[in-house]
Amino acid sequence: MAKLRTALIIGTMAIAVAACSKKRPETLPPGPGVVDPGPAPGTDTGGTAQPGTPEHFKQNVSSDTIHFALDQYDIDAQARTILDSQAQWLTQYPNTRITLEGHADERGTREYNLALGDRRANAAKNYLAARGVSATRITTISYGKERPIALGSDEQSWAQNRRAVTIVIN
């Protein structure tokens, strides 16, 4: 009788645990810190991007990235052209928020590059704000030299890594 009771209790507990467990989703979301890059800027996605989305932004601005000279954070003529196209798009979608990421090349200390990336992101923010984009819609973050897009220790790689990137937040 005790064996039967124990078997019933164990069986009931097993059914209860199985009923409470969650099914694993068929597709898992990306892990923390993993960003879906989406289509490359200028990639034709058939024009199906919904207005106001990150994909629509990438399709309709000249670039989401501006570049800087060595140890500089001033906005040059080419960066102004890119930021002007971004400002125009952002004024069309006033509820869209963005994050400006500041980056640096691998040279210099971690602290120096974080500060330089911050100045670059804020320079882009100030430029967009001067063009009519509300500063409350813009957040900035510096990654310094921690997130290079070009791996290499040459001027071509360093030039690609000295940048500010505009990320549209849904």
State the CATH number of the domain containing residue 123.
3.30.1330.60
Domain residue limits at 168: 66-170
Using one digit for the tens of pLDDT, what is the confidence trace for 42-91?
A: 444 445 789 999 999 999 999 999 999 999 999 999 999 999 999 999 99
Please tell me the total count of domains within the chain: 1
Provide the CB-side half-sphere exposure for 115 (13 A, CA). Answer: 6
In a domain, 42, yes or no: no
pTM given for the model: 0.71
* Distance from C-alpha of 155 to C-alpha of 53, rounded to nearest angstrom: 34
In a domain, 89, yes or no: yes
The whole-number pLDDT of residue 80 equals: 97
Using one digit for the tens of pLDDT, what is the confidence trace for 13-41?
A: 767 666 555 555 555 555 554 444 555 44
